[in-house]
Amino acid sequence: MRLTSRLLLGVLGVVGVLIVFLMLVVERQLTSRLRDETIATLAREARFVAVNWTPTADPFLLAHQAGASLGRRVTLIRPDGVVVGDADFDRDRMAKLENHGQRPEIRDARTGLVGWSMRSSPSRGDVELYVAVSAPLGVARVSVPTTSLDAIVISGRYDMMSAGGIALVIALVLAWVFARNISRPVIALRDIAASIAAGDLTKRPVLRAPGEVGELALALHQLAEQLSARLDALAADESLLLQLTESLNEGVLAVDSARRVVRINETARLLLGVSTVPPFSLDHLPRETALREALNSSFAGMTTDDVEVVIAGRTLNVTARPLADGGAVLALFDLTRVRRLEAVRRNFVANVSHELRTPLTVVRGFAETLVSDDPPRESRVQFAERILSNTQRMQRIVDDLLDLSRIESGGWVPNPVHAEIETIANDALMAAREAATKKGLMLQTRIHPSATTVWADPTALRQVIGNLVDNSVRHTTNGQVQVFTALRDGGGITIGVRDTGIGIAPEHLPRIFERFYRVDTARSRGDGGTGLGLAIVKHLVESHGGKVKAESALGSGTTIAVGFPARQE
């Protein structure tokens, strides 16, 4: 079949289907629109009737008068579903009507909606549209036969069919003209394409036409040039592949069948300590036994997964897979940080166990003594006090662990406000006053006039200052403990606690914010510390975007300052 005939048949089919589709859609939309507008009109009329239905009005007469005025069937229904007025029935026949309480439009109207339904009317014998609204004395309903709506829809259908027939004739004429104009250049382009397919790249279309035909001519013109450009595209693909491998966090290297490394990304160079430009021999790779065995297994056609090796102090996960040509691909993932975190977790568990073991042992020992023996009252009181103190110590450890876990897991989010520093500092000093008085320590505040408030969570700020003050009091035997504030360079507030205590040696200073780290283990436990206070301080401050800094020297006291950033609008 020729191109012209196919185009004409295609246009005939498309336009025909489009006309039928439009007729169906328009008819459906017209029916829906007429129905919605009729429902809105009947609802307004029903509301008018409902307004006039008063306790003094006769519903029977009101229904007949309103029906005559509106040209509708008006029905008035009591709340119990009994019809008390209907424009189509006299009193005797109306009394025989069934209860309307379960009619769908009546149920919807009782809920305050505009209820409507469409069904056949037993009294009139045709399909009617019923619309009901709630009235003070019941439900007012107005109905109208749907024959008038159907007549409008049928009329519109005939109009659309006439318009569609005219449009179909016009479309066929235009399609025939278009097919004639397009078939001739297409035939010419077909001949040129056949020549190019046969290998004659000297053929070039000279046709210039608008639209898709012109684009096809241009495409054929560019076809020969694009064949040579494919080499450039291959080079671009190679560059893209190189960029992708270089952007990976994993180390990747490829080895060919001659056992030469032909590709290696920068991450693999760093992990393996290789600087040689590929291709190079496998001898340049680290002589790690597990690494070599993974490569040899790949050369033998076997896959090696999740083998851990340690190279230059780094723990690497090695995956090796064979290639179809006899080579291998090696993937390296740095597990150093993961293993370090696992070691931290193990140390944390060991520290918690160690911290809880001592008070548990004490509690158990005194409890067993109380159970098995009957010591004097003074001894029992002493034992109970020791049990209580160690139980309180375990409680403090557990509470601090829970606080620390909640902060680190993100379960706690600061709610910063402008907090008064001096009030919170005085509260912290008051809580530590009894312990300070026993040691003869002086507690002071030194609030800078321009640093009286800070943008921070008040609860977190209380815990930060309280922990710092408590820590200073426990490690200071004479002198004073002072809470001070200052302005930070670049904005924000610095809050710190300085003391005249024993100080901290330089080798311990970087680790005092670690969990359970103590400079003097025996003395810290004896003072009742949990070893978690400074870790909690650090996490609370960092959750505000701030930083913690400690300065100390042996015998010269310690100063721990926390910096809170300025409010970010």
Buried b (16+ CB within 10 A) or exposed e, 427-466: ebbeebeeebeeeebebeeebeeebebbbbbbebbbbbbb
Neighbours of 171 (CB within 10 A): 18
pLDDT over 50 at 340, yes or no: yes
The answer to whether 27 and 160 are in contact (CB under 8 A) is yes
Q: Write down all domains in the chain, each with its CATH number in brackets.
A: 3-151 (3.30.450.20), 253-333 (3.30.450.20), 339-407 (1.10.287.130), 413-564 (3.30.565.10)
* pLDDT of 204: 67
Chain centroid to CA 390: 45
Chain centroid to CA 85: 60
* pLDDT of 525: 47
Name the residue with higher pLDDT: 331 or 219.
Answer: 331
Q: Please, which residues have CB within 8 angstroms of residue 186's CB and are 6 or more apart in sequence?
A: 3, 213, 216
DSSP readout, 48-74? HHHHH--TTS-HHHHHHHHHHHHTSEE
Q: Which of 37, 34, 48, 46 is nearest to 73 (CA)?
A: 46
* pLDDT of 522: 45
Name the residue with higher pLDDT: 545 or 230.
Answer: 545
pLDDT over 60 at 1, yes or no: no
Confidence band for 311, pLDDT divided at 50, 70 and 90: confident
Name the residue with higher pLDDT: 51 or 363.
Answer: 51
Buried b (16+ CB within 10 A) or exposed e, 473-482: bbbbeeebbb
* pLDDT of 509: 80
Show the tokens assigned to 295.
């490569």
Confidence band for 228, pLDDT divided at 50, 70 and 90: low
Q: Please, which residues have CB within 8 angstroms of residue 28's CB and are 6 or more apart in sequence?
A: none
Q: Compute the mean pLDDT over every residue in the chain, rounded to the nearest whole number.
A: 80
Question: Which amino acid is located at 496 in the chain?
Answer: G
Confidence band for 19, pLDDT divided at 50, 70 and 90: confident
The pLDDT tens digits of the residues spanning 481-535 come to 999 999 888 788 899 999 998 888 887 787 777 766 666 554 444 454 566 778 8
Show the tokens assigned to 14.
């498309």
* pLDDT of 139: 92
The answer to whether 525 and 388 are in contact (CB under 8 A) is no
Mean pLDDT (whole number) for 13-28:
79
Show the tokens assigned to 69.
């005025």
pTM for this entry: 0.41
* pLDDT of 399: 66
| Residue 432 to residue 443: CA distance in whole angstroms | 9
With tokens 């507008």, the residue in question is 37
* pLDDT of 515: 64
The answer to whether 64 and 123 are in contact (CB under 8 A) is no
Mean pLDDT (whole number) for 268-279:
80
Q: In percent, how much of the chain has pLDDT > 90?
A: 6
pLDDT over 60 at 396, yes or no: yes
Name the residue with higher pLDDT: 10 or 467.
Answer: 467
* pLDDT of 140: 92
* pLDDT of 297: 83
Name the residue with higher pLDDT: 564 or 3.
Answer: 564
Mean pLDDT (whole number) for 364-371:
76
